[in-house]
A and B are shown apart, each in its own frame.
Chain A
Amino acid sequence: MSAKTISVNLKVWRQPARDQPGRLVDYVAKDVSTDMSFLEMLDVVNEELIRKGEDAIAFDSDCREGICGACGCMINGIAHGPDPGTTTCQLHMRRFRDGETIVVEPWRARAFPVLKDLIVDRSAFDRIVAAGGYISVGVGGAQDANSISVPKEDSDTAMDSAACIGCGACVAACKNAAAHLFTSAKITHLALLPQGGPERERRAVRMVEQMEAEGFGACSNEGECEAVCPKLIPISNIAKMIREYSRALWKGVSA
């Protein structure tokens, strides 16, 4: 497909630092090739800003192929923008019209404070995984890999959940800023595998309690998380998490 050139009007959230107020600032992105990714378009805007002696728009990005989970912003109010199953870095400008106005904002959640412009602090996710989101095996003591047999269906379903990239779109999209989809994806991945069995109750309790302690909200049951998830992780994971959590409480397991 041959590329066209368009021009778009941007309203970008600029905030110098965590404890300072921010505001939307207007920019015009000219000569944007429709083959560009959204972030490449922002790169071009930044080049212009730097040449004018202004501070570049700060945003996180790394792999630019949709797998590292570093990038992400609200594009016209939708986490990662209009394409389903697509991260911001994989969104292409052919998705936008010439002359269109695009509002670009950071993830907004109490547990994800803005550090600068479009960059937020997502370290709460690391702390949730550190609260038992692992299998406790030491290095070197593992038995032969094929001595653990896992039904293909379970393994495939575990992989569906394990595909989470930890970008935080689910939190950003939720009106309660809940981290249920993120947390449940890890709980589900490990609960479905026999290796994860021995710790499943304690893991569910600890991870859920850590999630709450970080300031994430309650599940709204509205499914915005699933709608924006770039890896299409279904909300059935949340049902599984609630089941795992209840099961643990029923058994009297505490963190």
Chain B
Amino acid sequence: MTLDSKIPSGPIADKWERRKFENKLVNPANRRKYDIIIVGTGLAGSSAAAALGEQGYKVKLFCILDSARRAHSIAAQGGINAAKNYRNDGDSVYRLFYDTVKGGDYRAREANVYRLAQVSVDIIDQCVATGVPFAREYGGLLDNRSFGGAQVSRTFYARGQTGQQLLLGAYQSMLRQVDAGNVTLFPRREMLDLVVADGHARGIITRNLITGELERHEGDAVLLCTGGYGTLYYLSTNAVNSNVTAAWRSHKRGALFANPCFTQIHPTCIPVSGDHQSKLTLMSESLRNDGRVWVPKQPGDTRPPNQVPESERDYYLERRYPSFGNLVPRDVASRAAKQQADEGNGVGDTGLAVYLDFKDAIQRLGIEIIKARYGNLFEMYERITAEDPYQVPMRIYPAIHYTMGGLWVDYNLESTVPGLFVLGEANFSDHGANRLGASALMQGLADGYFIAPYTVANYLAGTRLGNVTTDHDAFKDAASASQARIDKVLAVKGSRTVRQFHRQLGRIMWDYVGMARNEQGLKEALEKIRTLRDEFWQDVTVGGEKTNLNPMLDYAGRVADYMEFGELLTLDALHRNESCGGHFREEYQTPDGEALRDDANYSYVAAWQFTGVGAPPVLHEEPLVFEEVHPSQRSYK
């Protein structure tokens, strides 16, 4: 298999324009004859459904929760980037492109990133037109702020709830198409398999989560907008229902999985407090605009933070990175926190935390301004920890937050299975080895509103699809495979719960394949994952029935997939003998502890082909060519 990225020719600034013109179109009168299946209702899925429905296609939209509005895009706090240059501070499409390629540690495809920066400006226009209440200034125009890793103010925001407001905007636009009869909603449905008939993605198998019934849905194209796989780590900032199942089962049907080891650890989360925890809570990194990160200089200093004098505090980010200070990219900030904890400078009961202090900002700006900027975040922190961050510094620690890897897609967002498109976090994305803050929302809406509607139409117009109904053998096979898997997991009736297994798997991943990785640890992790997977199939207990609402059964299927996927992620991390972005291999670092890339040998996208559970996957490489931004050692000093 050769990977064809289908990047248009010509200068980078003209590529997308050229592709849009080259694309074939579907006559408006013919569009209603096409059924498009969209799985997932986050920013990517809802916006794609709105855009394709509006064009006149018949869209079937699926989500696992009770309403499309619950998708995890809703939890994004900080903002969305766009190269509007409303601040006159030197921003441009080219600069956003440059920052994103550099921030991704030169492991993203230039042409995709440039297009993302280009459409970023349209996204803001679209969102405002649909009524998203972005923050405004007294003059009535939009406010901007700078955000982790950027030296310009290009981030648009709606208090600390930007993701919520953008998602509700896309959700409302999507419901407008429900109202118009173009989109049909299928809530509480979980995609269990992709149906590939005659070489094309032609449908999905879903489980109705209320009745337990397996359903067959046919379509002319399938769009996966199912998010990332952060919950592999058990504790993450992702929602508890987020999972890799739709992507993984598509992978097993032939879609290559790219760069799974590129995971992002977010530096500002509320630290772990005990074994009972079901998830970690992110505190928006916008807090780093005004908060200062520090630890006591003296290891093991147990004094309350307010009693540690200035001279005995180490503001280590400001010390190590004078020009970016507390605003260094996420991977750099996270690793620096881990180093402090490893050296014994961590704070709090567990020693796995650092301080984020607002004392100086409160003195400089006054408590009212800090309240206006971060009030809801401070409240959330207090609710969870019972500490008042206006009085004592927050304690923060990195946690898994976002996954840059995902199903491999070409420039048209089409996977290696013809007719299967992958949008948003679920694809291997435009973020390379590390995503900059406020760029996930941008990518979700770019893919859904502005890219997939063109490329899916081109696919439909240029592909002669045979008539496939749900009686086709491919549907029967996929449905019976799904049924068999459900029966199998219920039949184990062992002694350990799904959650116990998930917690154990997450622990292995965090300890060996987390913020820092090394060859020996990764090899150990592979052994441990395989052993745990065998134990899962011998000893798991689920309870309940398959013929009604049974959240534990849904959960068991997702964890079973993670038992397989975790192995692939670890293999990818082991094969990539370099450090880049979120993938930090301890063997490959500069003398001062920064990530050391190996561009000569690893400047490629690693796309893995499934060959069987436990069998070695086949690696396909897509070389990355940099014509505009020349890879250099990232420096934030």
Q: A residues engaging B (CB < 8 A)?
A: 1-3, 16-17, 33, 35-37, 39-40, 43-44, 46-47, 49-51, 53-56, 58, 60-70, 83, 85-86, 90, 92, 94, 115-116, 119, 121-123, 125-126, 129-146, 148-152, 155-156, 158-159, 162-163, 165-166, 189-190, 193, 195-196
Contacts and interface: CB of A to CB of B under 8 A. Distances in A.
A135 B170 CA distance: 11
Contact of A53 (B68, B131, B543, B551): B543
Contacts, number: 234
Contacts of B549: 17, 58, 115-116, 119
A143 B125 CA distance: 6
20 contacts: A16-B548, A35-B274, A39-B278, A50-B497, A51-B495, A51-B497, A55-B543, A56-B544, A56-B551, A64-B278, A67-B74, A92-B384, A123-B66, A126-B185, A129-B172, A131-B179, A132-B179, A137-B173, A142-B126, A156-B133
Given A125-B67, A159-B159, A195-B129, A50 B179 contact: no
Given A62-B241, A123-B66, A189 B131 contact: yes
B336 interface: no
Nearest to B273: A35
Nearest to A61: B240
Contacts of B187: 123, 126
Contacts of B281: 64-65
Residue among A35, A44, A141 with most chain B CB within 10 A: A35
B86 interface: yes
B624 interface: no
A36 B135 CA distance: 34
B583 to A, nearest CB: 27
Interface in B540-576: 541-544, 548-552
A3 B273 contact: yes
Interface residues of B, number: 87
B279 interface: yes
Given A63-B74, A67-B75, A135-B131, A50 B273 contact: no
Contact of A149 (B141, B379, B497): B141
B453 interface: yes
Contacts of A141: 129
Contacts of A94: 386
B383 interface: yes
Interface string B145-183: 000000000000011010011001001110110110000
Residue of A56, A121, A123, A144 with most chain B CB atoms under a 10 A cut-off: A56
Contact of B130 (A53, A70, A137, A158): A137
B51 A139 contact: yes
Contacts of A67: 74-75, 161, 164
A44 B276 contact: yes
Contact of B179 (A1, A83, A130): A130
A51 B70 CA distance: 30
Contacts of A36: 274, 276
Given A150-B136, A195-B130, A43 B499 contact: yes
A3 B384 CA distance: 12
A68 B163 CA distance: 10
B471 interface: no
A100 B459 CA distance: 61
Contact of A145 (B67, B128, B383): B128
B126 A140 contact: yes
Given A62-B65, A142-B129, A146-B86, A33 B140 contact: no
B176 A136 contact: yes
B385 A50 contact: no
A195 B169 CA distance: 13
A65 B283 CA distance: 10
B324 interface: no
B308 interface: no
B120 to A, nearest CB: 11
Given A49-B543, A58-B550, 10 more contacts: A40-B278, A46-B552, A50-B541, A63-B70, A94-B386, A137-B129, A139-B51, A139-B173, A155-B133, A156-B133
Most chain A beta carbons < 10 A, residue from B74, B139, B158, B185: B74
B158 A159 contact: yes
A1 B178 CA distance: 49
Interface in B424-474: 449-450, 453
B189 interface: no
B486 interface: no
B99 interface: no
B409 interface: no
Given A62-B241, A67-B75, A151-B140, A55 B544 contact: yes
Given A43-B278, A116-B549, A135-B129, A129 B142 contact: no
Contacts of B47: 139
Interface of B: 47, 50-51, 54, 65-72, 74-75, 84, 86, 122, 124-131, 133-142, 158-159, 161, 164-165, 168, 171-173, 175-176, 178-179, 185, 187, 210, 239-241, 273-274, 276-279, 281-282, 349, 379-380, 383-387, 449-450, 453, 495, 497-500, 541-544, 548-552
Contacts of A126: 67-69, 175, 178, 185, 187
Question: What 8 A-B pairs have minimum CB-CB distances, sorted nearest first?
Answer: A149-B140, A142-B129, A134-B172, A142-B125, A145-B128, A130-B175, A159-B133, A1-B386
Contacts of B142: 145-146
B74 to A, nearest CB: 5
Contacts of A58: 549-551
A19 to B, nearest CB: 11
Given A86-B383, A92-B384, A144 B125 contact: yes
Among B129, B133, B138, B176, max chain A CB count under 10 A is at B133
Nearest to A64: B279
B141 A60 contact: no
Contact of A158 (B126, B133, B544): B133
Contacts of B384: 90, 92
Contact of B239 (A50, A64, A122, A156): A64
A70 B65 contact: yes
Contacts of A1: 385-387
B383 A92 contact: yes
B67 A166 contact: yes
B425 to A, nearest CB: 15
Nearest to B76: A67
Most buried by B among A3, A47, A129, A152: A129
A232 B66 CA distance: 23
A150 B134 CA distance: 10
Contact of B542 (A50, A69, A196): A50
Contacts of A138: 54
B278 A152 contact: no
